[in-house]
């Protein structure tokens, strides 16, 4: 059985491609079941965020067949021709796959290293797989270990200190353009975690007023109240857009919600004073054509790379410390996984030795008819202790050898030594 991750991320593909292949929360359950069946009832998890679309699988397929099925699955799920994303796909197997997930969950592979949202997203992906019963024993263990590793990296390094989320970097970018956010009016569109984190960061920088736009009026009011913001119904967005110097959009809408016409109208009411727009949604909320309008400055997630590069440099030493923790944890997990492969052999060893024990015990007791029932039980107990001792010593040594050599080679020799099935 192979443990594999296949997907694409901000390292290998532009935002335009990632958003075309992204799965919404509503699409994940059916996608999991489809992929689970497609890969021969494999254990699967789908992780889809603004920066990555990844499939984690524990399967028994041949590598070429697996790659073919993953490409077909992504292509058919999103009606995107394979040739448009094939070169952006990466695949890691076994040890490399384990290390990749641990780095992802620990935010060592994020665009903004140290950001906290990714761990929650990995957890949600795992919970979704649990709900659809597509996570097998190895997948369960892998993700549980990933959460432990992420906690260790965050508590034993300072990688999470400072402004490290996409939302805070977006606000950093706004401040770098306006010099100060004090006295500015900001419109936040959306009410999810990303929108709320952005709102907190804005308020901490001294914005004068905040306009909260959401399709759900109750949700807009709930989000606006703690920050003395003004809730605005989504259908009234166009009537208030001109009031904002800064617009930050982070909804889960499947298509553009802001178009050039919206901003032409807003600029007219603003006497063409500049507007700064940050689109941190995937798929994007703002039509890219908006960025071509004079006095409108549009940025999306990929445009944050310069700020992210500075973030990476500041955290380089902490990244190295985090990588060491990941490597240690990968070794632990792979040792567990290798030993897991040996479990059927351990069972066969026990069955074989106990078969011999029972045969020889019966022969011995038959030759000693004068033994009392108590004595017969004592002899039987003695043979059980002997077999148990042999098994315990053997299992410890075999596990040790598996940890230092190729598991298949070790198990082949064990099967030959004990005369077990499949030993040739």
Active site residue 50: yes
Q: Which long-range contacts (CB under 8 A, 24 or more apart) does 350-353 make?
A: 350/387, 350/391, 352/418, 352/419, 352/420, 353/387, 353/390, 353/391, 353/418
Nearest residue to 236 (alpha-carbon basis) of 273, 203, 211, 200: 211
What is the arrangement of strands in the sheet containing 209-214, beginning at the earlier edge strand? 230-233, 209-214, 185-189, 246-249, 275-279, 296-300
Euclidean distance between CA atoms 384 and 16, whole angstroms: 66
Pairing of strands 185-189, 209-214: parallel
**Structure-block tokens of residue 145:** 């270990």
Contact 206, 181 (CB under 8 A): yes
DSSP string, 325-369: HHHHHHHHHHHHHHHHHHHHHHHHHHHHHHHHHHHHHHHHHHH-T
Whether the CA torsion 57, 63, 69, 73 is positive or negative: it is positive
Say how many CA atoms lie within 13 Å of 3 toward its Cβ: 23
Of 26, 37, 43, give the one whose Cα is nearest residue 140.
43
Provide the residue count of the chain: 424
Beta-carbon contacts of 369 under 8 Å, excluding residues fewer than 6 positions away, are none
Residue 216's SS3 state is coil
Please enumerate in sequence order all residues whose Cβ is within 8 A of that of 190, keeping only pairs 6 or more positions apart, or say none: 213, 214, 249, 250, 251, 252, 281, 285
Among 28, 50, 171, 304, the one annotated catalytic: 50
> If residue 56 lies in a helix (H) or strand (E), which one and from where to where?
strand 52-59
- Is the separation of the CB atoms in 321 and 393 below 8 Å? no
**Which residues are known to be catalytic?**
50
């Amino acid at each position: 059985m192979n443990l594999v991750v296949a997907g694409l991320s901000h390292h290998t593909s532009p935002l335009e491609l990632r958003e075309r292949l992204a799965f919404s929360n509503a699409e994940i359950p059916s996608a999991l079941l489809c992929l689970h069946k497609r890969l021969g009832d494999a254990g699967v998890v789908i992780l889809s965020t603004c920066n990555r679309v990844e499939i984690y699988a524990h399967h028994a397929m041949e590598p070429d067949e697996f790659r073919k099925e993953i490409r077909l699955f992504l292509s058919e799920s999103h009606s995107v021709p394979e040739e448009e994303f094939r070169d952006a796909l990466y695949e890691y197997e076994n040890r490399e796959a384990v290390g990749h997930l641990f780095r992802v969950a620990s935010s060592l592979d994020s665009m903004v290293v140290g950001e906290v949202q990714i761990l929650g997203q990995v957890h949600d992906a795992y919970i979704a797989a649990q709900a659809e019963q597509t996570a097998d024993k190895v997948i369960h263990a892998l993700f549980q270990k990933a959460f432990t590793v992420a906690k260790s990296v965050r508590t034993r390094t300072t990688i999470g200190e400072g402004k490290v989320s996409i939302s805070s970097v977006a606000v950093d970018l706004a401040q770098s353009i306006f010099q100060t956010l004090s006295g500015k009016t900001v419109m936040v569109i959306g009410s999810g975690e990303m929108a709320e984190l952005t709102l907190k960061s804005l308020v901490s920088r001294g914005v004068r007023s905040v306009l909260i736009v959401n399709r759900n009026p109750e949700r807009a009011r709930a989000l606006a109240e703690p920050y003395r913001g003004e809730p605005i119904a989504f259908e009234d967005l166009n009537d208030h857009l001109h009031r904002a110097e800064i617009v930050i959009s982070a909804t889960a809408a499947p298509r553009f919600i802001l178009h050039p016409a919206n901003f032409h109208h807003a600029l007219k009411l603003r006497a063409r004073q500049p507007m700064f727009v940050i689109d941190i949604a995937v798929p994007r909320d703002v039509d890219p054509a908006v960025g071509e309008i004079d006095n409108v400055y549009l940025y999306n997630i990929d445009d944050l790379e310069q700020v992210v590069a500075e973030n990476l440099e500041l955290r380089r030493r902490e990244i190295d410390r985090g990588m060491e923790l990941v490597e240690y944890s990968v070794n632990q997990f792979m040792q567990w996984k290798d030993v897991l492969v040996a479990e059927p052999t351990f069972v066969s060893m026990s069955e074989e030795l106990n078969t011999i024990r029972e045969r020889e015990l019966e022969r011995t007791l038959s030759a000693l008819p004068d033994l009392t029932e108590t004595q017969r039980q004592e002899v039987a107990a003695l043979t059980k202790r002997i077999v148990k001792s042999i098994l315990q010593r053997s299992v410890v040594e075999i596990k040790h050898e598996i940890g230092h050599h190729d598991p298949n080679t070790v198990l082949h020799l064990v099967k030959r030594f004990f005369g077990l099935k499949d030993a040739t």
